[in-house]
Structure 1
Amino acid sequence: MTTQPRTPSGSPEGGQFERTPRPEALVGATLVSMSENGTDGSIYFPERLHSADEHLSWWSTVPVPDEVLQAVMDDYSNSRVVTVNSIVGKYQRMQKQPEWSDAEYAARVKDASLDFDRRVQQLKERIPEKLDRFAVRDAVRTHLAWTYRHTLPDEEQAKVEQTQVTVGDFRGTPAEVSTHYAMPGFSARQPEAFTRLPDDNAALRQQLAQLRAQIDAVDTTTKKIYVSDMVEQGYSADQIDADLRGERPGAPVGGRKALKSFKKS
C-alpha cells in the first residue's frame, strides 16, 4: 500500500492530496504482430499470412505430426470412396416423361446409367487406389493451404487457387491436388483430425478401461465361487446378502431352508 502527502500538510479538510506525476499515454501506438513471417503456428493453430506467396510457402514446410499422416494412410480407402461420391453424387433413376415409349425410356435410363458409371470410373482413375506414403505429407499440407485460403484477401485467394503445385507424381492446382489424394473425403470422415491436437492419453485410458474390465470380471467370478460355497454350507439368500454387505450372517439355516429362500427371491 502506498500513501501520498496531503496538501496543505496536516490539514484534514477536503482530503486533498498532491498530484502525482504520471507518464503521458502513448499516442499513435501500433500493435506489432507476434510473428511477421509465419515462423510460429502449427496445422492446428496456423499463422494468418498476408499474401499467396507467404501462405503457400508457410504451408509447404509446416510440420505435420506422424499421427495425422498415419490416420490419413489408414483411412485412405474409405476417404477415396467418400471423395468420389461427393463429386458424382448419388445415382438417381430419371423419371419417365409422358411422351416417351417404354422402349425409349429404357434406352434413356441405360444411357444415363452408363454415363454415370463412366464418370465414376474417370474419378477413380484420377484418385489413386493406394496412397503414396512419400506424398502424403505434402498432400496434407496442400489440402490445408487450400482449406485456409479464405484467410487471405480476395486477390491473394485467387492466386492460391490458380497456382500449380507438384505433389508426388501429380501436378495441379491445390484443389486438384487435394482431390487427387482424397483429402476432402478424409476431412469429411474425420473433421477434427486437422483441427484438434491428438490425445496423447487416449491409449493409456483404453488400457485402464481394459484393466478395469478384467478386474471386474475376476471380481464377479470370485464372488460367484464364494456365494456358491456359502450355499453349499446352508446359508440362505438373505444371509449371503448380509455377508456380502459386511454384516454377520449368523449360523447357516440348513440346506432345505436355504434352497427355499432362493426360490422365494
Structure 2
Amino acid sequence: MSEDQPRDPRTGKWVEQVSDEGKTILRHKVTDEEYNAEGSFEFPVRARSYDQHVSFWLNVPIPDESVRRFLAVYRYDFDTSYEPSDWAKEEIKKWDKEHPITPKNFPGGKAVGEAARKTELDRLVKINPIRPYDIPATDARMILRLGMMHYWADPLPREDQEKINNLEVAIGDGNKWSGIANVDKKYHLTRTIMRFYGKFGPVPGVVYGWTGDKWE
C-alpha cells in the first residue's frame, strides 16, 4: 500500500482506486493507533471519532514547555480578568459607601480614588476568587489535555462533543470530576486555551511558536 495513495479525510481509510491495469486496489482501514501516531501535541490529527479523539489527547506526549506556557497564560488571564465573587461584590459596595470618591477623601483627584478602589477590588478578588489563582503543578498536564480535547472536538458530531463534555477523568489524588464541562467551569479552560493560542493577543513573556493558525 503506497503512502502516496489518497485517503478519505473523514475516515482515514484508503480510497479505492483502479490501477493502470484495470485492477481495483483494496482499501486498508487505518486504525486509530496508526492515525493518532501521525499527530503530536503541537500538530494534532483531526478528530474523526469519539474514541480516536479521546485516545489521542489522553496519550499524546505534552512537552514541559507547553505546560509552562499553559500555566503562564492561565495566571495572566486571572490577573487581567476582573471576575469578583458575590462576596467580593458585596464587600466592594461596603468600601464604596465608606470611601466615596470625593475631593475630601481623595485630594489627589478622581483618578487617585479610582486607583484605590481598583487596588481594593484586586485584593478582594484574590481573597475570594471564583476560580483558583493557580493550577496545581501535579494537575496541570491533565487539565491541559482536557482543554485541548474540548478545543479540538469541533469536527465531531454534536452528540460526541457532549460525550466529551461529560467524560470523567481522574485528576490529582484520583478523585473523579463529573466531566470536562466542570473542569472548564472551574478553570475557565475555554478562554485559557484560546489565550494559549494567542487569540486575545500575546501574553507578555510567553513564546508561542505555532498558534494553530500561524507562527508567532
Query: In the alignment, which of 147, 155, 162 is matched to residue 159 of structure 2?
Result: 155
Cα 1:154–1:188, aligned 2, differ >3 Å: closer, same or farther? closer
Letter of the 2:27 counterpart:
T
Cα 1:153–1:25, aligned 2, differ >3 Å: closer, same or farther? farther
CA drift of 1:156 comes to 1.9
Q: Distance in 2 between matches of 1:138 and 1:196?
A: 20
CA drift of 1:149 comes to 1.5
Cα 1:54–1:125, aligned 2, differ >3 Å: closer, same or farther? farther
Letter of the 1:27 counterpart:
T
Map 1:111-122 to 2 at 5 A.
Answer: none
Cα 1:83–1:136, aligned 2, differ >3 Å: closer, same or farther? farther
Larger C-alpha radius of gyration, 1 or 2? 1
2:184 equivalent to 1:183:
no
Q: Distance in 1 between matches of 2:162 and 2:209?
A: 23
Query: In the alignment, which of 31, 36, 39 is matched to residue 41 of structure 1?
Result: 39
CA drift of 1:68 comes to 1.2
Q: In angstroms, what is the RMSD of aligned CA positions?
A: 3.7
Partner of 2:168: 164
SS in structure 2 at match of 1:75 = helix
Amino-acid identity (%): 22
Cα 1:161–1:172, aligned 2, differ >3 Å: closer, same or farther? same
Map 1:231-250 to 2 at 5 A.
Answer: none
Cα 1:128–1:189, aligned 2, differ >3 Å: closer, same or farther? same
Q: Distance in 1 between matches of 2:169 and 2:181?
A: 10
8 Å CA contact retained: 1:83, 1:184: no
Letter of the 1:24 counterpart:
E
Partner of 1:135: 139
CA drift of 1:50 comes to 3.9
Q: Distance in 1 between matches of 2:194 and 2:81?
A: 9
Structure having the higher helix fraction is: 1
| Structure 1 residues not aligned, in runs of 5+ | 1-21, 92-116, 203-265
CA drift of 1:60 comes to 1.2
| Structure 2 residues not aligned, in runs of 5+ | 1-18, 90-120, 199-207
Cα 1:68–1:24, aligned 2, differ >3 Å: closer, same or farther? same
Q: How many residues align?
A: 143
